Structure formats: C-alpha cells, structure tokens
Amino acid sequence: MAVYRLFLCFLIFSFALNQTLSYEEDDSPITRFQRYLRFKTAHPNPNYTAPVSFLVDQAQSIGLTARTIEFVPGKPVLLLTWLGSDPKLPSILFNSHLDSVPAEGEKWIHPPFSAHRTDDGRIFARGAQDDKCIAVQYLEAIRNLKSKGYSPVRTVHISYVPEEEIGGLDGMAKFAVSPEFRELNVGFAMDEGQANPGDEFRVFYADRTPWKLVIRAQGPPGHGSKLYDNGAMENLMKSIELVTKFRETEFDNVKAGKAANSEVISVNPVYLKAGIPSPTGFVMNMQPSEAEAGFDVRLPPLADPDLMKKRIAEEWAPSIRNMTYKIEEHGPMRDILGHPIMTPTNDSNPWWSIFKQAVEAVGGKLAKPEILASTTDARYLRQWGIPVLGFSPMSNTPILLHDHNEFLKDSVFMKGIEVYESVISALSSFEGPSRQVN
C-alpha cells in the first residue's frame, strides 16, 4: 500500500509539473506578450536588436512584410505592412515605441524584466502598460483577422520606433520627415494612450508640448554675513517665487474643476544648483556668484508659446537682474499650417466616428476625449496634418507607467486584442473620402 501511495504521488506530481511547464511554454498571445516584455529595452542602454528580431519573426509568421530603417545607426525603425486591396487609398498606421524607461529592480515585488504572471493574472514588467502591450496586440489582432479570412481594403502599417522615452528625436521625429514615411501615404494613425482605473477606455486627441527651462542668475560673491542687493541666490529666489505663484494659479484651476491637468500650463522645479563645494558639503560663509534652477514646463496645444516666452524673459529671468535662461523645446507646438496640433473628435473627422463605432461594437466604452498630460510620438505625425488618436485599451487598470511594479492583467490584455481586431478591420475597410498626405 505504501508503494502504491508513493507511486500515486509521483504521478500527481509529474502531471502537475507537466501542466505547469506547458502553461509556461504554451505559444499563446499571453506567452508571446511575456516574451516581448522580457527584452531589456530600458534606457540608457536599450537593447533594440532582440525585440526587433522577435517582432519580425512574429510578423512573418502571419504573412506581413517587414522592413528595418536606421536614420541613426543602432536605432532601428521597424515597419510592418499588410497590403490592402486598394493600395491607392491613404493607409492606416499603428505606432508603438520599442524603448522603455529605467526600472529600480530592488523596489519591485517581481523583477521588472521577468514578465512574472501571478495567480490572479497580473503580468509584472517594465513596459507592460507603456507601451509593449499595444505592440503585441496589433499583431495578435491581425493574426485573428487573417485566421477569419479578412482582407483589408486600405493598407495597414505597424511602426515600431526607438527613443520615444527620451523625446523621439532619433526615432519618430526623423521617420515622420523621411521619404520612406511619405511613401506610406498615411491617412490616419493611432499611437499609445494610458490606462484608466474606471470601466471606460481613455482616448487622446492631443499632447502637451514639453519645454526644458533653465534659469541662471549671476551676482557678486560676498561674505555669508553680508546683506546686499542682487546676489545670485537672491535673484534666483525672486524668480522661483514668481514661477511658484504662476504654478499655483494654474493648479488652482485644476483643483477647482475649471480645467483638467492636461489643459493648463504646468511648471515643476526639478533641480537647484548653487554654492561652493567643500570636503564636508558646502562653504557656508560665502555667497555664490552663480545659481541655477531647472523646470519641467508642459504647454497644452492652445497655449500661446510666444506669450510664455515673453513672461520668462520679462518676469522670471529678466536681464536687468543679471539673469539668463535657456529653453529646449521638445516637439512642435503648431502644425505646418500654423494651427494648434489637435485631432478633431467630432463628425468633421470621419475616422473618429469609425473608431468610436468599432470600440462600441465589442462592448467597449470611450471616456470623454482628452489632451494627454505628457507627450508621445503622435505629435510628430499631427504636425503634418495627419489625424492621430492616442489609445491603449486598458480599463479597470491602475495607471502605472514609469512607476514601480508596472503590470497589466492578462484579461485586460486579451480584451485589448479583441478591441484592436474590431478597430483595425473597421478602419482598413473604410472606403470613403479621406485626406491624402502630400
């Protein structure tokens, strides 16, 4: 009897082990998503070679053509194409970025590139929400459409670009102005969005434009005990007071419900630099002759950039107080016609109606369209008059992009595939009039 029980336990253990192994090794949408998440694409040294190779393999397995373009050596743009029956019609583009932000692994409950899947279906990984989910969902949706015999009328492209997390200057910014991009004749595009803790899908019609603002002050050095006017630190502190007052006014509109966070100009201090270093810290009895502060500034599309520059020059960093400033503008504020960069979300935009109906056709609900508080590569496309919607179908999901313990539930991921299946088929079968990129 003891031998029989031992043999029975062995059989049960073997069965459980085999089930676990087959669960982990099963070639399914979930496991393909996990494989993609395990590529270490975090800055400052993202690995682009391995994920591009994986995506090419996946594309070829479902009959898509693949092309890799390098505008900057070592920073590939991958373009996948599903040819439509009427390639003369403007095409549809779905974009995703290859890179991700760094992760402090010691502060995660599971290693950030392990793609660990918990019993309740949460998949932990850097990039799970931002934005490797849509990268795989695009392909899985096309895989399903092809298995059902669907053929698009319009050509469908998928682009995977580098460097989005550090501004996209060596990625989409170069791709969008290239002859290779113009040849695609893109009529409508979709890019990443964000999760929503509620039961609706968020959708974005514009981004804010980021500025890096550095204000510097100069003044005579002096003894730490002396009181005098126009010291470097004194002048810089005056500027910081004015910046803080402006920030509070903008923030009050958000707190009072008069505007969304993404609809105001945000100004946040990110560093202060001054003082004379010493072996024990800083020299305390000497007032520095230079001081500097850095600010992250975000402008919504309807903000007046010229008015903002005037405020900085005349109020925040006036030369009369021995102050200078530098602005790094990361991305355009206006399109090629001089208009604010926004995509209409009303009947004037036929793509909006088709997209909305496609989401609702699979039981999805859209939240009120909004401006993205941060920024994406979509702005480089909207600059050329291409309508772009930011969309990542993640409802009932905490917003964890750039946070510790970023995760996405497997059920949310699978629902996203269903949503994109509906969206891709609806957009690519639209035969009505639409703008053609010149």
Mean pLDDT by 10-residue block, N- to C-terminus, for the chain (438 residues)?
Answer: 47 44 69 98 98 98 98 98 96 98 97 98 98 98 98 98 96 97 98 98 96 96 86 94 97 96 96 91 91 97 95 97 95 88 94 97 97 95 96 98 97 98 98 57
Two tokens, residue 63 = 């009959």
DSSP string across 209-233: EEEEEEEEEE---EETT---SS-HH
Two tokens, residue 317 = 């960093």
| 308 and 344 co-located in one domain | no
Is 99 among the residues known to form the active site? yes
Among residues 265, 261, 270, 254, the alpha carbon closest in space to that of 373 is found at: 261
**Helical axes 49-61 vs 132-147, angle rounded to 10°:** 10
- Residue 25 is predicted with a pLDDT of 54
Two tokens, residue 291 = 């001081």
Are 6 and 16 in contact, with CB atoms under 8 Å apart? Answer: no
- Residue 343 is predicted with a pLDDT of 96
- Residue 5 is predicted with a pLDDT of 52
- Give buried/exposed letters for 284-319 (b at 16+ CB in 10 A, else e): eeebbbbbbbbbebbbbbebeeeebeebbeeebbbe
Q: Is residue 335 part of a domain?
A: no
Q: Is residue 7 part of a domain?
A: no
| 157 and 244 co-located in one domain | no
| 323 and 357 co-located in one domain | no
- Please tell me the distance from the alpha carbon of residue 402 to that of residue 391, in angstroms, as a whole number: 17
Helix then strand then coil, % of the chain, to nearest 5: 35, 25, 40
| 237 and 91 co-located in one domain | no
* 310 φψ region: left (φ > 0), alpha (ψ -120 to 50), beta (else): alpha
| 320 and 360 co-located in one domain | no
- Residue 3 is predicted with a pLDDT of 46
Q: Is residue 180 part of a domain?
A: yes
Domains held by the chain: number: 2
Q: Is residue 10 part of a domain?
A: no
| 164 and 174 co-located in one domain | yes
- Residue 15 is predicted with a pLDDT of 45
Are 60 and 340 in contact, with CB atoms under 8 Å apart? Answer: no
The CATH code of the domain that includes 243 is 3.30.70.360
Domain coverage including residue 227: 209-299+303-329
| 312 and 261 co-located in one domain | yes
Is 86 among the residues known to form the active site? no
| 226 and 346 co-located in one domain | no
| 229 and 294 co-located in one domain | yes
Residue the block writes with tokens 């703008």: 435
| 182 and 242 co-located in one domain | no
Which listed residue (99, 163, 192, 377) is catalytic? 99
| 84 and 119 co-located in one domain | yes
| 236 and 195 co-located in one domain | no
Q: What is the pTM of this model?
A: 0.87
Which listed residue (130, 131, 164, 192) is catalytic? 164
- Residue 136 is predicted with a pLDDT of 98
